[in-house]
Amino acid sequence: MERVVRHFQEELEALQGRLLEMGGLAEERVRLAVQGLVERDTGLLDGVLQHDEPINELHIEIDNRCFKLLALHQPVATDLRAIVAAVKINTDLERVGDLAVNIAEAAKRYLVHPPVKQLIDIPRMGDIAQSMLRDSLDSFVRRDIGLAHQVLNEDDELDGLKTQIFRELLTFMLQAPATVEPALDLILVSRHLERIGDHATNIAEDVIFMVSALDVRHHAPTHPQA
Amino acid sequence: MERVVRHFQEELEALQGRLLEMGGLAEERVRLAVQGLVERDTGLLDGVLQHDEPINELHIEIDNRCFKLLALHQPVATDLRAIVAAVKINTDLERVGDLAVNIAEAAKRYLVHPPVKQLIDIPRMGDIAQSMLRDSLDSFVRRDIGLAHQVLNEDDELDGLKTQIFRELLTFMLQAPATVEPALDLILVSRHLERIGDHATNIAEDVIFMVSALDVRHHAPTHPQA
């Protein structure tokens, strides 16, 4: 029995290691997509568009590891919650990889036009989204609820930036029709980055549930809507 | 033992029933959001914005049911895959509920302006997205792989409509600056509908994996990209 338990813990750690690897790949793809946009480097963007096999292969491998752990070790309590969390986190990270592709596609269209002034706060949104991803995965591995809550707070900042960027770009579009197409693509990029933040938020919520068995999703709003 | 097995099957059926209920709620909210946009009915849209408690409560209840089934019955093979699929489907349906809120928000902003010609193919996108949701859940309950594949095909149609709508609205925006704001909101609505189709696609892929243990995600493209 003790050997089975030790084996289970080893497998669980291996699973976490693979999830971190997947998170690193996803984060790197987001970083490259934003960098390609900022530096107007089509080569970087093409790299993001072409190299999604490693993350897709890891996605399937991690899913299989979760099934195997559930079927062979039939875990309960925290261990069970950790593996179900891993299934969900895996899905979130795969979507982050897809969103990096969406950003690269929008960026390629954007680069066809003259630039819309500066890129406003888009690079900053990219930094926040990446840091949220990193923190959410660290909070999973370290079972760190404080860090998970920090991710939830960062998401508010990201949402605020998205709204602000939308307003600024809308002003450009209304003043100069030539900016309509490129500004539209920047709006899409900012929404993709916001969704990456949403995935990090999902991960943080899963961590809080896993550690405390406390469900922080759908918490009653502090200020009820009219 | 036989009693435990029967009990498990009953619980699994109850879980499926709750998932269908959740799917019905999600679909209804999408329907109301699109109807509110088409009929320019702010009351319908406010209804979508205000009544997300039932779906959020079901989301938590279904998650709990899945954990209980995994912990108490320690299922393997198809049963295990069915419950892990239920966890994932539950997440997808909750996101569909959120997307209905996003559509209602964009529609409310849209209704402030004079209408942009017709709503082009947005009502049709709404119909397809709802039918995909329904079919994906039916394919789960009936373990119907044929129906699941049909959902994957419908998603191509939805993506095509989204691209076409984007082009048409861009033309309006370039010709008449007064259409920039409302057209932008229609573009966002069409993207939310596309994402609802993506969630139905996720569900269909989970069904195919559950029934056949065949992973159809990340299939190699028939025509490799250059």
| C-alpha dist (Å) from residue A158 to A96, A124, A132, A169, B99 | 15, 9, 10, 16, 18
Banded pLDDT at A19 (limits 50, 70, 90)? very high
Q: Is the pLDDT of residue A137 over 90?
A: yes
Instruction: Give the mean pLDDT of A87-104.
Output: 97
pLDDT of the residue at B53: 92
| A95 interfacial to chain B (CB closer than 8 Å) | no
Give the CA angle between residues A24, A30, A36 to the nearest 5°. 130
The pLDDT, as a whole number, for residue A150 is 97
A192 assigned to some structural domain: yes
Confidence of residue A223 (pLDDT cuts 50, 70, 90): very low
Distances (CA, A) of A36 to A101, A191, B159: 12, 17, 25
Nearest by CB to residue A170, choosing from B50, B56, B181, is B181
Closest-CA distance, B74 to chain A, in angstroms, reads: 6
User: Would you call A216 an interface residue with chain B, using a CB distance cutoff of 8 Å?
Assistant: no
Q: Does A11 touch chain B (CB under 8 A)?
A: no
pLDDT digits (tens, 9 = 90+) for B139-154: 999 999 999 999 999 9
Q: Which long-range contacts (CB under 8 A, 24 or more apart) does A119-123 make?
A: A119/A37, A119/A38, A119/A186, A120/A165, A120/A168, A120/A169, A120/A186, A121/A161, A121/A164, A121/A165, A122/A34, A122/A37, A122/A38, A122/A165, A122/A186, A122/A189, A122/A190, A122/A193, A123/A34, A123/A38
Q: pLDDT: is B213 or B164 the higher one?
A: B164
**Residue carrying structure tokens 């508010």:** A156
Test mutation, A67, A99, A170, A206, chain B, max B CBs within 10 A: A67
Q: What is the pLDDT of residues B77-92, one digit of tens each?
A: 889 999 999 999 999 9
Give me the residue from B59, B177, B184 closest to A177, CB to CB.
Answer: B177
Task: Look at residue B45 and tell me if it is in a domain.
Answer: yes
B74 → closest Cβ in A74, A77, A174: A74
Contact (Cβ atoms closer than 8 angstroms) between residue B104 and residue B33: yes
**Whole-number pLDDT of residue B215:** 65
For B112, counting Cβ atoms within 10 Å of its Cβ (0-12 exposed, 13-18 middle, 19+ buried), the class is exposed
Q: What is the mean pLDDT of residues A72-77?
A: 90
How many domains would you assign to chain B? 1
Alpha-carbon dihedral B57, B60, B64, B65, rounded to 10 degrees: 60
Residue whose tokens read 């998401």:
A155
Q: What whole-number percentage of chain A has pLDDT above 90?
A: 80
Q: Within an 8 Å CB–CB cutoff, is residue B170 touching chain A? A: yes
Residue A186 placed within a domain: yes
For residue B208, the domain's CATH number is 1.20.58.220
- Determine, yes or no, domain membership for B223: no
User: Could you read off the pLDDT of B6-41 as tens digits, one per residue?
Assistant: 789 999 999 999 999 999 999 999 999 999 999 999
The verdict on residue B74 lying in a domain is yes
Domain encompassing residue B136: 2-212
The least confident of A9-18, A74-83, A212-221, B104-113 is: A212-221
Rounded to an integer, the average pLDDT of A120-125 is 92
B60 and A173 within 8 Å at the Cβ level: the answer is no
Whether B219 maps to a domain, the answer reads no
Distance between CA atoms of residues A27 and A25, nearest Å: 5
Of B60, B61, B70, which to mutate for an interface test with A (greatest number of A Cβ within 10 Å)? Answer: B70
Q: Is residue B25 part of a domain?
A: yes
Confidence of residue B115 (pLDDT cuts 50, 70, 90): confident
Dihedral sign (CA B3, B9, B10, B12): positive
Confidence label for A88 from pLDDT (cuts 50, 70 and 90): very high
Does residue A163 belong to any structural domain of this protein?
yes
* pLDDT computed for residue B212 by the predictor: 84
Q: What is the DSSP string of A162-195?
A: HHHHHHHHHHHHHH-GGGHHHHHHHHHHHHHHHH
How far is A100 from B94, CA to CA, in rounded Å? Answer: 23
Q: Smallest Cα–Cα separation from A205: which of A131, A153, A127?
A: A153
Interface predicted TM-score of the whole assembly (ipTM), two decimals: 0.87
Cβ-based contacts of B77 with chain A (< 8 Å): 71
Q: How many beta carbons lie within 10 A of that of residue B171, not counting itself?
A: 12
- Return d(Cα A37, Cα B130) in angstroms, integer: 35
* pLDDT tier at A40, thresholds 50, 70, 90: very high
Interchain CB contact of A77 with B (< 8 Å)? yes
- Average pLDDT rounded to a whole number, residues B45-54: 95
- For the stretch B176-222, pLDDT in tens is 888 999 999 999 999 999 999 999 999 999 999 888 876 667 664 43
CB B119 within 8 A of CB B190: no
- pLDDT band with cut points at 50, 70 and 90 for residue B224: very low
